[in-house]
Amino acid sequence: MTTKDEVKALWKLCFTDSDEFTDLYFDLRYKDDINMAVREDGKIISALQMISYPMTFCGETIATSYVSGACTHPDYRSHGAMRRLLRLTHRRMYDDGILLSTLIPAEKWLFGYYAKSGYTPRFGYVMERVNVEKLIPSGSYRVEEEDEASAELYQYFDNRMRERACCMLHSYEDFLLIMADLRLGGGKVLVARRADRMAGMAFVVKDAGSLYIKELLADGIPGQTGFEAVKDTLLSAAATLYPGAVIEYIHPSSGDSSTLGMARLIHVEKMLSILARKHPVLSLSIQIEDDDAIPENNGYYIVENGNCYREYREGREYHLYTIESLTAKSFETEHPYMSLMLN
């Protein structure tokens, strides 16, 4: 049995995904070189995949790695296998030049579990129920369904995603998987055009009596006239396509939000350096001593005048952070967002 076959068998044992989705994941996403595993008794007992995602952060694009499919064989749980695997994974990420690790806990109790490995809840979202009667669609746009992951579709998608200040991005390879998963779930992509130019797109999926707008991108700035006109046109088209459905629109928020994903710093110095460049007036004196997986992160840091220095200065008071609390501090003025993840 190949490693891929072993991991797929473990996945089926641990998760309740359909065979169609599991086949899709292992055909289009899984590769041995992104898989991490623990073996005992001659077999894989714990596994996960590290999926690379660029992310906009403080005006730059950083390398992040998303932990997917983390699972342990039921007979080997509660013996530290996953904790050990996460340590190995974080070490591998650091060596590969990754700056940040992210994940989406499958259940609420896992937020506390992953916190023990340095993760903190950071990625939020808002689910807004749409009042269809208040929508003001514009006659300037025509809306069509798109089935193919064309270059035009991806280019528009990528450009709009990159306009967000702190957002996980998707490669074209990942976009193909998103589109395939959408079709598998009976979802659609609605595209708004003005003349022959794309002006917006929405990813919609129906589940029972609700219609979920899992992502909506449009020209302009949210809250301003241009964006809102395209948004209302797309939402109105979705309401027409699925009459009677309750429409739930999922989108980023700069205020209170529900928590979706967690983050953990992998390369402290590089992340603090980016933060310092974005906020030159920021002044921090930091000590870290709890990163067992990546001891290179432990030590003293000074953030001041737009730079990050790794040094200890006599007479200076340092604030002791854990990896978890420093991750939270690093995103204190940001509102990280992720969407269309295979969670």
DSSP 286-312: EEE---SS-GGG-EEEEEETTEEE---
| Residue 142 and residue 231 in one domain | yes
**Mean per-residue pLDDT over the chain, rounded:** 96
Cβ atoms of residues 284 and 303 within 8 Å: yes
pLDDT tens profile 75-116: 999 999 999 999 999 999 999 999 999 999 999 999 999 999
| Residue 10 and residue 76 in one domain | yes
Residue 315 pLDDT = 92
What CA–CA distance (Å, rounded) separates 156 from 319?
44
Q: Is 4 helix (H, G, I), strand (E, B) or coil?
A: helix
**Crossing angle of the two packed helices 3-14 and 19-28, in degrees rounded to 10:** 150
Cβ atoms of residues 312 and 284 within 8 Å: no
Residue 230 pLDDT = 98
Residue 120 lies in a domain: no
Domain containing residue 165: 127-251
Q: Which residue has the higher pLDDT, 149 or 342?
A: 149
| Residue 71 and residue 10 in one domain | yes
For residue 255, pLDDT over 80 is answered with no
Q: Which helix (H) or strand (E) holds 161?
A: helix 151-162
Residue type for 303, please? V
What CA–CA distance (Å, rounded) separates 302 from 309?
5
Cβ atoms of residues 56 and 100 within 8 Å: no
Residue 154 pLDDT = 98
pLDDT tens profile 142-163: 999 998 899 999 999 999 999 9
Residue 52 lies in a domain: yes
What CA–CA distance (Å, rounded) separates 185 from 205?
7
Residue 256 lies in a domain: no
Strand 246-251 and strand 120-129: the pairing is antiparallel
What is the domain count for the chain?
A: 3
pLDDT tens profile 274-320: 999 999 999 999 999 999 999 999 999 999 999 999 999 999 999 99
| Residue 147 and residue 239 in one domain | yes
Residue 144 pLDDT = 96
pLDDT tens profile 4-26: 999 999 999 999 999 999 999 99
Confidence of residue 257 (pLDDT cuts 50, 70, 90): confident
pLDDT tens profile 205-240: 999 889 999 999 999 999 999 999 999 999 999 999
| Residue 24 and residue 80 in one domain | yes
